[in-house]
């Protein structure tokens, strides 16, 4: 009985956790387009299938007079295939789908046997024509290769036109099209992580755990209508059919830092020791069905500070009998307050 209750509770918990992800489309992408024959006529009831090359995820759809649409696909590299009786099969491999992208792929079928396959080698169009929103996608290679101060990947959002550094009021610190940093919305895996107080990013995954993120600066759809500035959608990494991971440590020893300057006496050697370390690991639990991914990041900082503060003389420490402090040792004595020179009202 306990096993049944535990299993039921776990299933309900997983279902509740999946609801926010199911209701949002902030991180998933879509394929859409039309399928025609050699004369240019629209082909209906053709099967269009998309298969993720890393996880084996498949989704298929049948075409109609308007074409086809494959919804809610996670970012990744896909193989797209089109099949219809009386026509040769068409396959287009290595199609990269970015976060929240509506990628249009049109296909033309040639008459022939279904056993024949035509492989399309042309690249997907780079111009986004299905939405009017403006922005940019920062991909994994940019996140890992470009220098970051403090390993804050949101700094790379400033590569997007219209995005600049904010006033420093929160950790995201992004001013989009002249708006303050408090006007932005930040989501991780489709879930809002913007704090209620400062519109700050309340959760920041490790740089090595981020797959890519998208910065939308204007004309975004109504689902993001609560943000007056920009919308940042972050997609974290996930497990695949292949075991993958990373390990890192960034070490800043004290012999590479400048001495601490003091106004009295010689400079003091810096005591700074900065360690930033961690790793990621992902892989399959059951091929094409179930995967795992985890990350860890640690931070250790030791530093010494020198303050040019002298010790006051004894007569300024001990109180006088009347409770005052003897300030006669000051170079510039404190003058009594001037009488009020304003006329009485």
Q: Looking at residue 227, what is its pLDDT?
A: 84
Q: Which fold has domain 134-236?
A: Ferric Hydroxamate Uptake Protein; Chain A, domain 1 (2.170.130)
pLDDT of residue 309: 61
Task: For residue 19, give the H/E element and its range.
Answer: helix 2-23
pLDDT at 338 over 60: no
* Residue recorded with tokens 């892989």: 283
Query: What average pLDDT score do residues 18-37 get?
Result: 72
Average pLDDT, the chain: 83
> How many CB atoms neighbour CB 186 within 10 A?
27
Range with lowest mean pLDDT among 1-5, 40-44, 337-341: 337-341
Selection from 249, 246, 224, 225 nearest residue 237 by Cα: 246
pLDDT per residue over 259-274, tens digit each? 776 666 677 777 788 8
Residue 334: both structure tokens together:
């404190």
Burial of 152 (0-12, 13-18, 19+ CB in 10 A): middle
Q: Which residues contact 183 (CB under 8 A, 6 or more apart)?
A: 176, 199, 227, 228, 229, 230
Per-residue confidence band for 194, with pLDDT thresholds at 50, 70 and 90: confident
Residue 103 · residue 124 · CB < 8 Å:
yes
Check: CB of residue 1 under 8 Å from CB of residue 76: no
Strand ranges in 177-289 using DSSP code E only, listed in sequence order: 185-188, 191-192, 210-218, 231-236, 244-252, 273-286
Please check whether residue 230 is in contact with residue 172, taking contact to mean a CB–CB distance below 8 angstroms: no
Q: Can you tell me the mean pLDDT for 309-332?
A: 69
Average of per-residue pLDDT across 177-200 = 85
Q: The tokens of 27 are what?
A: 């991180």
Task: Work out whether strand 210-218 and strand 231-236 pair parallel, antiparallel, or are unpaired.
Answer: antiparallel
Q: Which two tokens stand for residue 190?
A: 């489709």
For residue 291, count other CB atoms closer than 10 A to its CB.
18
Q: What is the pLDDT of residue 268?
A: 72
Q: Boundaries of CATH 2.60.40.1120 in the chain?
A: 30-130
pLDDT at 20 exceeding the cut of 50: no
Domain with CATH 2.170.130.10 in the chain: 134-236
What is the phi/psi pair of residue 68, to 5°? Answer: -140, 160
86-106: average pLDDT: 93
Q: How far apart are CA 329 and CA 312, in angstroms?
A: 9
For the segment 150-165, the average pLDDT, to the nearest whole number, is 90
The pLDDT tens digits of the residues spanning 204-255 come to 899 999 999 999 998 888 777 778 889 999 999 999 999 999 999 988 887 7
Three-state secondary structure of 239-254: CCCCCEEEEEEEEECH
Q: For residue 34, what are the CA distances in angstroms to 22, 113, 121? A: 26, 21, 18
Q: What angle do CA 145, 156, 238 make, to 5 degrees?
A: 65
Residue keyed to tokens 């012999």: 255
Please name the fold of domain 30-130.
Immunoglobulin-like (2.60.40)
- Residue 62 pairs in a beta bridge with 47
Mean pLDDT of 40-55: 96
């Amino acid at each position: 009985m306990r096993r049944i209750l535990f299993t039921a509770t776990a299933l309900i918990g997983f279902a509740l956790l999946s609801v926010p992800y199911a209701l949002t489309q902030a991180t998933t992408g879509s394929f859409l387009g039309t399928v025609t024959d050699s004369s240019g006529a629209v082909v209906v009831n053709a099967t269009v299938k998309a298969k993720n090359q890393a996880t084996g995820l498949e989704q298929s759809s049948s075409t109609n007079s308007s074409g086809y649409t494959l919804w809610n696909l996670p970012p990744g590299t896909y193989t797209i295939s089109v099949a219809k009786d009386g026509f040769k099969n068409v396959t287009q491999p290595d199609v990269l789908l970015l976060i929240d992208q509506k990628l249009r792929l049109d296909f033309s079928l040639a008459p022939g046997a279904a056993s024949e396959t035509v492989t399309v080698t042309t690249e997907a169009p780079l111009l986004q024509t299905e939405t009017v929103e403006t922005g940019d996608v920062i991909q994994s290679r940019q996140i890992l290769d470009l220098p970051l101060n403090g390993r804050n990947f949101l700094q790379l959002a400033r590569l997007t036109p219209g995005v600049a550094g904010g006033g420093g009021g929160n950790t995201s610190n992004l001013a989009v099209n002249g708006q303050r940093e408090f006007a932005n919305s930040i989501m991780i895996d489709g879930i809002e992580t913007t704090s209620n107080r400062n519109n700050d990013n309340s959760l920041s995954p490790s740089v090595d755990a981020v797959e890519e993120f998208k910065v939308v600066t204007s004309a975004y759809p109504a689902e993001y209508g609560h943000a007056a500035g920009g919308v940042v959608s972050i997609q974290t990494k996930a497990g695949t059919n292949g075991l993958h991971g990373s390990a890192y440590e960034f070490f800043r020893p004290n012999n590479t830092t400048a001495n601490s300057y003091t106004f009295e006496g010689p400079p003091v050697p810096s005591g700074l020791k900065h360690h930033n370390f961690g790793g990621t690991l992902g892989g399959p639990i059951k091929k094409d069905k179930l995967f795992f991914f985890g990350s860890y990041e640690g931070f250790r900082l030791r530093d010494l500070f020198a303050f040019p503060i002298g010790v006051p003389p004894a007569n300024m420490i001990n109180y006088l009998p009347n409770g005052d402090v003897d300030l006669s040792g000051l170079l510039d004595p404190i003058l009594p307050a001037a009488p009020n020179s304003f006329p009485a009202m």
